[in-house]
Amino acid sequence: MLSGAEIGDLHIELTSRCTLACPRCQRTADPEQLQVGDLPLAVVEATLTRANFPALRYINFCGNYGDPVYHPQFHEIIAHVRLEGFRLRIETNGSYRRAAWWTRTAELLSRADQVQFSIDGLEDTNHLYRVNARWPDILAAIEELRGHAYLVWKFIVFRHNQHQVEVARKRAQDLGFDEFRLIRSSRFDGRWRDATGLDPLKPDPQWVGGRKAISEQIAALRHG
């Protein structure tokens, strides 16, 4: 088992709160299993210290169920982590926070910290998977954080947005993102197939990633 002295990166779920209703998220697919809760600030302050983790480089605040920015004491947590000298990666959908809230966030971060925005498309398509996302809020967040942290646009390719990849890449540059990260997911098919046997969210084969895509390519070669 790793000790704190050996750990270089931590992935922590601060909260199970989220404002979105993404159809493939477990909170939407299996809502009866969701227990809404927040990691207590006292636990964060007692645990995430340089004494406990002398080799720690990054703390990644990215939820499986929730979005870290909805933790009610998010700024206090960020202030503590920065005081301990850790760098941060924060992943968020960017919605339902006012510009002033993001201004406060920007004041706590540095260019060594990273904020990843999960934006799957443009204004007319992002909400098709990121259900309830608010585009004006996202733009306000980007405006306040630009230049204060390393900004990443993370774009998951679906059938409804695959035609927008290059336009989104250009938009990311115009908005001042430092990186445009394209995600080729393999989480398609299975229980999500419709009556025709197809997954309505699955993009064309060149946009599908992971082992499944490799297996399909091999199968196509064998039967070609």
Position 115 pLDDT exceeds 80: yes
Whichever domain contains 166, its CATH number is 3.20.20.70
Phi then psi for residue 60, to 5 deg, are: -100, 110
For residue 212, being part of any structural domain is answered with no
Percent of the chain with pLDDT over 70: 92
pLDDT at 223: 41
Beta-bridge partners for 151:
115
The domain in which residue 18 lies consists of 9-183
pLDDT bin (cut points 50, 70, 90) of residue 39 is: very high
pLDDT at 6: 87
pLDDT at 30: 74
pLDDT at 3: 63
Give the number of domains in the chain.
Answer: 1
pLDDT at 216: 43
Each residue's pLDDT tens digit, 3-20: 667 899 999 999 999 999
For residue 168, being part of any structural domain is answered with yes
For residue 59, being part of any structural domain is answered with yes
CA separation, residue 49 to residues 8, 13, 19, 84, 117 (Å):
13, 17, 30, 6, 27
- Give yes or no for a contact between 174 and 132, defined as CB atoms under 8 angstroms apart: no
Position 93 pLDDT exceeds 90: yes
**Distance between CA 151 and CA 114 in Å, rounded?**
6
Position 215 pLDDT exceeds 60: no
Position 206 pLDDT exceeds 80: yes
Each residue's pLDDT tens digit, 70-92: 999 999 999 999 999 999 999 99
For residue 170, being part of any structural domain is answered with yes
- Average pLDDT rounded to a whole number, residues 132-153: 98
Closest to 13 (Cα-Cα) out of 51, 42, 44, 55: 44
For residue 74, being part of any structural domain is answered with yes
Angle, helices 99-108 vs 74-83, to 10°: value is 10
Closest to 64 (Cα-Cα) out of 44, 91, 87: 91
pLDDT at 190: 87
Average model confidence (pLDDT) across the chain:
91
Range of weakest confidence among 42-46, 68-72, 158-162, 195-199: 195-199
For residue 139, being part of any structural domain is answered with yes
For residue 60, being part of any structural domain is answered with yes
pLDDT at 222: 41
- Average pLDDT rounded to a whole number, residues 47-54: 96
For residue 204, being part of any structural domain is answered with no
